[in-house]
Structure 1
Amino acid sequence: MTDSATTKSTVSGVEIVLESVTKRYAGQKDAAVDDVSLTVPAGEIVVFVGPSGCGKTTTMRMINRLIEPSSGKITIDGKDALSIDPDELRRGIGYSIQQAGLFPHMTIAKNVATVPGLIKWDKKRITSRVDEMLDLVGLDPDTYRDRYPRQLSGGQQQRVGVARALAADPPVLLMDEPFGAVDPITRGLLQDELMRLQTELGKTIVFVTHDFNEAVKLGDRIAVLGNQSSIMQYDTPEAILANPANDMVAGFVGADASLKQLTLTRVRDVELLQCPTVTEDDSVDDLRRLLESRKRQWALILDSRNRPLRWVSPAHLAHATTLRGVGQNVGEMVSTQSTLQDALEALLAESTASTCVTGRRGEYAGLITIDTLVGHLSSMRAEHAHDHDAEPSDTKDNGATTNNGDTEVSDAPS
């Protein structure tokens, strides 16, 4: 769940208002979408979540008139969407779908340049914007701009899809289950990337999913939709988890509501632990002495851009003359944008006591441990037990003490 009040440095999005919006198809007795009214605040992510066939995608597509509403009114930044030429409207709204929807016969650069080209940007500006967008979504322009979609992984294609949707700098981004076709690990990374981008860009994003966990992770607000897009509950993730409005919403929340609370906190919001770090060019002897002086069993080798590479122990150093190629691969990591739920899943997947945390560009930021997560849940339970008026309970020494991120973890890989 984003904390727009504290993390977004800018808001470039605009407000969207749906007033009694209805969609009826000829020959069907019931409306596909019936009398939906809600406001999407500027600069926030609002997630439509609901069962298959409930009308959530239809509702979203009426915003950019890929589906024309039968009645009602939709305003974008105070302007009636029906008064705007449909093509002009769509060029001002980013659109990202499942499996990216890239043009297979076009290079990555030409895919990203699609909308800037349609609105007649000059070639120099387009070239610059393509490289900027690829870099923004974590794809090196020199490596990827001349490739074709078939030469990319599913996760890379989704990143290109997001870059294309953002290329013309639209205030609004519509996302229709954009990460639904990738594996769970890649999906988590793409969600983190979206959160990082939103922190930088502050767009207004309408996101459709059937995955409530994804809704809790991404949404500033969640609209839980029933049949015909009837709004069962429209509120913050915290409010929905704490007080589901009805049995249907409670069904989405599920029995593991306490664990879902981990999704409400970002890794950046807890105290990270630290371990000794070196680069591949550092001295083996110096590292041996460092580990011995600190009575440590592990250090982390970083690359030239401070990105985690490998764990190294005294046993790895026994006969080493260089740190290049020495040690064991780091394995699964999380970012500062990840949730504590993501961190728990990474820890369980790797069967380790701690996992590496990276920053915005993949640089090492620290470590997070199982004890950190347990301590956080204990604090949350204490707050709820005192009706949110008590201070968080003290926890045993789990490395989450306040010392500006310099807490050292006693061990790393297990």
Structure 2
Amino acid sequence: MSEPNEVSGVEIELEHVTKRYSGTRAPAVDDFSMVVPAGKIVVFVGPSGCGKTTTMRMINRLVQPTSGRITIGGDDALKLDVDTLRRRIGYAIQQAGLFPHFTVAQNIGVVPGLLGWEKKKVADRVEEMMDLVGLDPADFRDRYPRQLSGGQQQRVGVARALAADPPVLLMDEPFGAVDPITRGNLQDELLRLQTELRKTIVFVTHDFDEAVKLGDKIAVLGDQSRILQYDTPESILANPADDTVAGFVGAGASLKQLTLLRVRDVELQQDALTTSVNESPADVREKLSTQRKQFALVLDHRRRPIRWVHVRDLTKATSLGAAGRPLRDLVSVQSTLQDALEAMLAEGGSVPVTGSRGEYAGTIKLETVIATIQQLREDHSDDHSDDHSDDQEAAGEGVSA
């Protein structure tokens, strides 16, 4: 594996790529050209049937292009053996697409096994990938897909796609079939992985908010995969190219700026009392009393937040493992401030924040998010004032001329 923060992805270039299906007059994809930068996430977003999935699938030749050229790291993808090509490209889809009669470990190890890796190397890689996506190998290695939640299945799907350490990862609406909280957590997980792995990722979605959160660049696509705008999320939010793109941005563009700001961009609070799950309830009760606090945050053996306990929960508790209430939601340093706001509404107060491996990093409070929103509104107002001043100045110049 590459060193953290080292780019392991490669550039993808599509040149005048077209796909025509027999019996149809218009092409599904018409003259599509784009450069996907190495080590970046590029999101294709557009309405159903616009050709975005077809375009992505031509990269690994699950759909064969009718014409055009596709290069991956400088290699002509259309001249490579198709099996060789696909083993160099990770592929993650909605509902994971796991083999139902394979265990989690067997699913993750499929491609390394096909590549002829030794059994010990495959087993080590499977364990490494499970740890990377936040699944304890001891708990999940021998389970079958039917024994997993939707979010856990998606994590296995991502681990399988990354197992052979491919430079390119294609993701076709991979989080579209899970509930909103799980979806947000999986998005955070992908962003966390990307800071470590720096793959080249092409991600397809119809959800513009998801595109803004995940994309280094967004391609807003129209019919036949015509590129309406290809730019950074910031630029698209600030200056939609046309009315169709503006329709995708939708109302509340200024509030969507919260999706551009990460939890890591604001100051976290360190005032929560934390305790290990192995600590005695009596000791925790004494600490709460001494510090005049009502709640303690319980961490597991890897310092990951698992539950809140109120001082009254500790009177008859024999262990912290079942006292209090499990966390309904938490956020990571990769989460957006919009995610944090939604988590606060679910939790009913401040929310624990986790670091790069799920460890406790602090809490984020509603006052912090509100202050950030107010600052954004002031900045937005100042920008409009400057624009208005420029217009008046231009009008004055026109009169004097």
Q: TM-score, normalised by structure 2?
A: 0.90
Q: Match for residue 279 of structure 1?
A: 276
Instruction: Provide the rounded CA distance (Å) in 1 between the counterparts of 2:282 and 2:150.
Output: 43
TM-aligned CA distance change 1:215 to 1:372, over 3 Å: same
Q: Match for residue 24 of structure 1?
A: 20
Q: Match for residue 78 of structure 1?
A: 74
Question: What are the Cα deviations for residues 78-135 of structure 1, in whole angstroms up to 9, with x where unaligned?
Answer: 1111121111111111111111111112222221111112221122211111111111
Q: Does structure 1 residue 342 correspond to structure 2 residue 339?
A: yes
Aligned-residue Cα RMSD (Å) equals: 2.1
Question: What are the Cα deviations for residues 119-167 of structure 1, in whole angstroms up to 9, with x where unaligned?
Answer: 2112221111111111111112222222221221211111111111111
Give the aligned residue type for 1:347: M
Q: Does structure 1 residue 163 correspond to structure 2 residue 159?
A: yes
Alpha-carbon distance, 1:310 to partner: 3.1
Name whichever of 104-113 and 193-202 sits farther off. Answer: 104-113
Query: How many pairs does the alignment contain?
Result: 382
Instruction: Provide the rounded CA distance (Å) in 1 between the counterparts of 2:327 and 2:127.
Output: 30
Alpha-carbon distance, 1:202 to partner: 0.3
TM-aligned CA distance change 1:332 to 1:81, over 3 Å: same
Question: What are the Cα deviations for residues 27-77 of structure 1, in whole angstroms up to 9, with x where unaligned?
Answer: 111010011111100000000000000000000011111111111111111
Instruction: Provide the rounded CA distance (Å) in 2 between the counterparts of 1:367 and 1:41.
Output: 35
The answer to which structure has the higher helix fraction is 2
TM-aligned CA distance change 1:323 to 1:138, over 3 Å: closer
Residue pair 2:328, 2:346 contacting (<8 A) in 1 also = no
- The SS at the match of 2:23 is coil
Alpha-carbon distance, 1:234 to partner: 0.4
Q: Does structure 1 residue 333 correspond to structure 2 residue 317?
A: no
- The SS at the match of 1:83 is coil
Name whichever of 195-204 and 102-111 sits farther off. Answer: 102-111
Question: What are the Cα deviations for residues 275-324 of structure 1, in whole angstroms up to 9, with x where unaligned?
Answer: 12222444656545544454433222323322223333443445668656
Instruction: Provide the rounded CA distance (Å) in 1 between the counterparts of 2:303 and 2:364.
Output: 18
Kindly report which structure 2 residues correspond to 1:56-75, keeping only aligned pairs within 5 A, or say none. 56-75=52-71
Give the aligned residue type for 1:58: T
Give the aligned residue type for 2:152: Q
Q: Match for residue 398 of structure 1?
A: none
Instruction: Provide the rounded CA distance (Å) in 1 between the counterparts of 2:260 and 2:125.
Output: 34
Alpha-carbon distance, 1:331 to partner: 2.6
Name whichever of 88-97 and 379-388 sits farther off. Answer: 379-388
- Give the gaps of 5 or more residues in structure 2: 387-401
- Give the gaps of 5 or more residues in structure 1: 1-7, 391-414
Q: Match for residue 37 of structure 2?
A: 41
Q: Match for residue 311 of structure 1?
A: 308
Identity of aligned residues (%): 68
Question: What are the Cα deviations for residues 240-291 of structure 1, in whole angstroms up to 9, with x where unaligned?
Answer: 1111111111111110212211111111221111212222444656545544
Residue of structure 1 aligned with 2:92, choices 96, 106, 109 = 96
- The SS at the match of 1:362 is coil
Residue of structure 1 aligned with 2:257, choices 246, 257, 261 = 261
- The SS at the match of 2:24 is coil
Instruction: Provide the rounded CA distance (Å) in 2 between the counterparts of 1:312 and 1:382.
Output: 39
Instruction: Provide the rounded CA distance (Å) in 2 between the counterparts of 1:368 and 1:266.
Output: 11
TM-aligned CA distance change 1:115 to 1:321, over 3 Å: closer
Alpha-carbon distance, 1:196 to partner: 0.9
Instruction: Provide the rounded CA distance (Å) in 1 between the counterparts of 2:268 and 2:215.
Output: 24
Name whichever of 296-305 and 65-74 sits farther off. Answer: 296-305
Q: Does structure 1 residue 297 correspond to structure 2 residue 297?
A: no
- The SS at the match of 2:191 is helix
